[in-house]
């Protein structure tokens, strides 16, 4: 898969670990930054870049990391077509795909150990959307449409 990654300064080190793991699994990684953990940056800039790449189809899925994952998920979900899920464990990572058809996964580098974050990411990539939940995704898309007019 072609996977877009983004992080702020708080998530930068975890992003590097996730990126190396994805590459070792044969995925193509597109890194949207940030690249220096010592320079404070604003997470919406990276959420925007990755989410637009996912929404346009230039990458298949997105991965966003900040301190808690909260800011990234809020910002990413502002982009039409994005279903960004903040995950904390294997269960939320799996259900984000199975039930919610999430196309972006967000994680908190200050909350998750790198090994658990990698495990969450592996499960997020391994699972697929269960079509029995499509009606709910259609309703989410309808909210997006209503809000745009
Ligand atoms: C940056 O200090 C921090 O606010 C950010 O990484 C994130 O946790 C926001 O949700």
Q: Find the 122 Cα to ligand 1 centroid distance in Å.
A: 24
* Number of folded domains that form the chain: 1
Pocket-forming residues, ligand 1, beta carbon under 6 Å: 8, 10, 43, 66-68, 70-71
CATH number at residue 115: 3.40.1400.10
Q: Strands, DSSP E only, in the chain?
A: 2-7, 28-31, 61-66, 84-86, 104-108
Can you give the pLDDT at residue 14?
98
Range of the structural domain that residue 81 is part of = 2-148
Can you give the pLDDT at residue 149?
77
What mean pLDDT is reported for the chain?
98
Can you give the pLDDT at residue 100?
98
Can you give the pLDDT at residue 32?
98
Can you give the pLDDT at residue 20?
98
pLDDT digits (tens, 9 = 90+) for 28-48: 999 999 999 999 999 999 999
Given a contact cutoff of 8 angstroms between Cβ atoms, the answer to whether 4 and 53 are in contact is: yes
For a ligand 1 pocket test, name from 72, 73, 78 the mutation site with the most ligand atoms within 8 angstroms of its C-beta.
72
Can you give the pLDDT at residue 73?
98
Can you give the pLDDT at residue 16?
98
Can you give the pLDDT at residue 96?
98
Q: Low-confidence residues of the chain, pLDDT below 50?
A: none
Given a contact cutoff of 8 angstroms between Cβ atoms, the answer to whether 31 and 5 are in contact is: yes
DSSP state of 117: H
């Amino acid at each position: 898969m072609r996977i877009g990654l983004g992080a702020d300064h708080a998530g930068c080190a975890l992003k590097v670990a996730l990126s190396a793991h994805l590459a070792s699994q044969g995925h193509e990684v597109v890194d949207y930054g940030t690249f220096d953990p010592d320079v404070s940056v604003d997470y919406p800039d990276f959420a925007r870049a990755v989410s637009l790449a996912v929404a346009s189809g230039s990458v298949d899925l997105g991965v966003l990391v900040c301190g808690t994952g909260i800011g990234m998920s809020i910002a990413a979900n502002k982009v039409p077509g994005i279903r960004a899920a903040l995950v904390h464990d294997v269960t939320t990572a799996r259900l984000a795909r199975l039930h919610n058809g999430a196309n972006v996964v967000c994680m908190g580098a200050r909350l998750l150990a790198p090994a658990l974050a990698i495990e969450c990411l592996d499960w997020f990539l391994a699972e697929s959307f269960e079509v029995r939940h499509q009606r709910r995704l259609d309703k989410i898309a309808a909210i997006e449409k209503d809000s745009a007019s």
